[in-house]
């Protein structure tokens, strides 16, 4: 079983079957008895809409585990959902892709949670390596490959060669930060208070990082008007939203440039030939590939299925375990 334990989404891959689960990393908890009320998509629908005794939580924030107990609960829930009921069978080997900012203590805790959920053998893999493998980059070859994985909480920029990270940089600015900029803009300019889910919808429907043919698309946004205190609809356009995201976008661009500047010349030459590969849900932002290409002068591609790259990478490692065993950071746990 391969798992992408992401800030925004958790995906599970089962060897021989493919991706069997794709759910938001959200848990709704009943405060009265501290028991989970819903996990995944159902819990995401509850974000910002819960009554007093229920909280909908995202246990991972900014690429780190913000609420360990809830993260553990969520991980166990998903593993059991996929593997569940098959008691008596040998527990699965699990490869988990986690943000590289996760601390040693958290790494061990993630492995323990997986063991408790029934795993026989747990390996952790850094998200950039898994994303690169999932995007189809030839990470085992002695060539330089650059991957930029823009998730919910973190953007990880890495140069890889021979199954290892040669150099990398991680910034805590990614999809969530882009959505937050939109929320702030709507409040400041349109006096409209919107929730986390509405900001994400705006980002997906009308936002772009670079002028595109879809700049004319408009969207009606509903929220609470600050001055009247009443619900109101405001019509917005793509270019104003692009402008509102300029700060987080420049943080991402600077991280890519800094990594390129530190890349050894032979590997830099390979990257010029092969281009930069974008993965993670943030790679789906319209025009982001064009912006990065424009800013760095290097051709930039978006992976075929950016949201699934990490979990597909964990799956490929599982299915080619002997050939790709060197990708693990030396941390494993077995029963
Ligand atoms: N079409 C889209 N346009 C822009 N952003 C998108 C689109 N689809 C998804 N996203 C954003 O992608 C992010 C989630 O990406 P992903 O699932 O790769 O993150 P993650 O792996 O959970 O996070 P992390 O890597 O930080 O742990 C969210 O911020 C989401 O809003």
Residue range 164-180, pLDDT digits in tens: 889 999 999 999 999 99
Task: Give the per-residue pLDDT at 87.
Answer: 52
Q: Whose CA is nearest to atom 9 of ligand 1?
A: 281
Query: What is the torsional sign of CA 67, 70, 72, 77?
Result: negative
Please list every protein residue whose CB sits less than 6 Å from any atom of ligand 1.
4, 6-9, 63, 99, 127, 151-154, 174-176, 179, 200, 203-204, 280-282, 284-285, 307
pLDDT band at 21, cuts 50/70/90? Answer: very high
Mutating to test ligand 1, I would choose from 151, 173, 302 the residue with most ligand atoms within 8 A of its C-beta, which is 151
Q: 2-129+311-334 and 175-246: same fold?
A: no
**Where does 175-246 sit in CATH, by number?**
3.90.640.10
Cα 279 to its chain centre, rounded Å, is 9
Average pLDDT taken over every residue of the chain: 90
**Is ipTM over 0.90?**
yes
- The two tokens of residue 4 are 């992408």
* Angle, CA of 35, 37 and 41, to the nearest 5°: 140
Q: In what order do the strands lie in the sheet with 9-14?
A: 18-24, 9-14, 2-5, 93-98, 121-126, 332-334
* Angle, CA of 254, 259 and 265, to the nearest 5°: 135
Domain residue limits, the chain: 2-129+311-334, 138-173+247-306, 175-246
Residue 231 scores a pLDDT above 80? yes
Average pLDDT over residues 8-28: 94
Domain 138-173+247-306 fold: Nucleotidyltransferase; domain 5 (3.30.420)
Using the mean position of ligand 1's atoms as its centre, give its distance from the Cα of residue 15 in Å: 24
Task: Give the per-residue pLDDT at 156.
Answer: 94
Residues 91-135 have pLDDT tens digits of 789 999 987 767 888 888 888 888 888 888 999 998 999 999 999
Average pLDDT over residues 319-333: 73
Task: Give the per-residue pLDDT at 218.
Answer: 93
Residues 189-203 have pLDDT tens digits of 999 999 988 999 999
- Is 9 labeled as ligand-binding? yes
pLDDT band at 34, cuts 50/70/90? Answer: confident
Residues 250-301 have pLDDT tens digits of 999 999 999 999 999 999 999 999 999 999 999 999 999 999 999 999 999 9
- Is 281 labeled as ligand-binding? yes
Domain 2-129+311-334 class in CATH = alpha beta
């Amino acid at each position: 079983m391969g798992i992408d334990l992401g800030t925004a989404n958790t995906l599970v891959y089962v060897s021989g079957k493919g991706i069997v689960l794709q759910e938001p990393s959200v848990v709704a908890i009943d405060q009265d008895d501290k028991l989970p009320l819903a996990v995944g998509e159902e819990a995401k629908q509850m974000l910002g809409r819960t009554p007093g005794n229920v909280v909908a939580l995202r246990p991972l924030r900014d690429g780190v585990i913000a609420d360990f107990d809830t993260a553990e609960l969520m991980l166990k829930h998903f593993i059991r959902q996929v593997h569940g009921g098959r008691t008596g069978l040998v527990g699965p080997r699990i490869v988990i892709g986690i943000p590289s900012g996760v601390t040693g203590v958290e790494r061990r805790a993630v492995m323990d949670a997986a063991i408790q959920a029934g795993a026989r053998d747990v390996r952790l893999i850094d998200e950039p390596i898994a994303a690169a493998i999932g995007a189809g980059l030839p990470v085992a070859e002695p060539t330089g490959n650059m991957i930029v994985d823009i998730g919910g909480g973190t953007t990880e920029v890495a140069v890889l060669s021979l199954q290892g990270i040669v150099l990398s940089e991680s910034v805590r600015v990614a999809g969530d930060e882009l959505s937050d900029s939109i929320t702030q803009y709507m409040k400041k300019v349109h006096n409209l208070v919107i929730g986390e889910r509405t900001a994400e919808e705006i980002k997906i429907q009308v936002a772009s990082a670079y002028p595109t043919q879809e700049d004319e698309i408009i969207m009606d946004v509903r929220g609470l008007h600050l001055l009247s205190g009443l619900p109101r609809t405001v019509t917005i356009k793509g270019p104003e939203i692009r402008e509102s995201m300029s700060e987080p976008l420049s943080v991402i661009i600077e991280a890519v440039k800094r990594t390129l500047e530190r890349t050894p010349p032979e590997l830099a030459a390979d990257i010029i030939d092969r281009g930069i590969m974008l993965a993670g849900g943030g790679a789906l932002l319209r025009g982001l590939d064009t912006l990065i290409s424009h800013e760095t002068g290097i051709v930039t591609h978006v992976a075929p299925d950016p949201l699934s790259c990490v979990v597909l990478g964990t799956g490929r490692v599982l299915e080619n375990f002997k050939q790709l065993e060197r990708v693990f950071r030396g941390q494993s746990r077995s029963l």
